[in-house]
Amino acid sequence: MQLRHPLVGLSSCLGGQKVRYDGTDKRDDGLLAELDLFADLVPLCPEVAIGLGVPRAPIQLNVLEDGRLRVRGVADPSLDVTEDLQAYAEACLPLFEQLDGYVFKARSPSCGPRGVLRVHGDGREDEQGRGYFAGFVRRHFPLMPLADEDALADPGRMAAFERYVKAYFDYHHAGEEMNDGASRGLRADRDWRRDPGR
Ligand code: SF4
C-alpha cells in the first residue's frame, strides 16, 4: 500500500509567504487546494535563502555579450547573485532528488520555468528566459514535472500535471526498474511535457 504522497516543490510566495522583493506574497488558494489533493508541498525561496532581504532590490536575467547568463540587480548591475544562486541550488540537490515535481512562480528571474524576461548586453529584451534556479532544476532533473501557476490555472493542464507527478512518483520510488504503470504514465504525458506553454 502506498503510504506517501508525492513531494512537490513550491515557490514560497505562491504558498503565501511574504518573501517577494516588495514584501508581498502571491498566494494562490485555488492552486494550493488542487495541489493539496495529491501532493505534499515543499516551499522554497531561493532569493531569501541566499540572503537577499525582504524587501530587496529587484533582480533580472542579463545575457552578456559573450552569451553568459548572469542574475544581476535591475538598478545596480554590480549586484550579481549568480554564484550565490548556483551555490544554493547545488546545496539543494539532495532535496531535489526527493521531489516528484515542482511548481514555480511564473516570470521570476529565479523561479520562472519559461518566458522570463532577459536583457541582452546590447539592450535588447526578450521573454525567452528561464529563471536561474528553475533552470538548474531542469538541467539536473530533465524528466521531473515542472510547471508554473499560469499553466496550472487551466484545469486540463492541472489534471495532466497531477498524472505526470504521480507517474514520476511511481517511477521515482520503483527502484532501478521503471514499472509498467509508471512507464505508461510518463508516455501518456509526453505530449504535455513538449508543449512550450506548460
Ligand atoms: S518567485 Fe521565487 S525567488 Fe521570487 S519571491 Fe517567489 S519564491 Fe522567492
* Closest by CA position to 64, among listed 47, 52, 77: 77
Q: Structurally, how many domains does the chain consist of?
A: 1
The better pLDDT of the pair 173, 22 is held by 22
β-sheet bridge partners, residue 104: 148
Structural domain boundaries, residue 40: 7-149
Kindly report the length of the chain. 198
Whole-number pLDDT of residue 174: 82
Phi then psi dihedrals of residue 152, to 5 deg: -80, -5
Does residue 158 sit within a domain? no
State the pLDDT at residue 4: 76
- Tell me, in angstroms, the distance from the centre of ligand 1 to residue 26's CA: 9
pTM for the full model? 0.89
For residue 156, tell me if it sits in a domain.
no
Q: State the average pLDDT over residues 158-187.
A: 74
Nearest to 130 by CA among 150, 106, 155, 151: 106
Of all protein residues, whose CA lies closest to atom 4 belonging to ligand 1?
20
Find out whether 99 and 140 touch, Cβ atoms under 8 Å: no
Q: Flag whether 84 is in a domain.
A: yes
Q: Is the pLDDT of residue 182 over 80?
A: no
Distance 110 CA to ligand 1 centre (A): 7
Q: Which residue's alpha carbon is at the smallest distance from atom 6 of ligand 1?
A: 13
Average pLDDT (53-67) is 97
Answer whether residue 186 is part of any domain: no
Give the ligand 1 atom nearest the CA of 12: 7
> What residues line ligand 1, using a CB cutoff of 6 Å?
11-13, 19-20, 45-47, 105, 108, 110-111
pLDDT tens digits for 30-39? 999 999 999 9
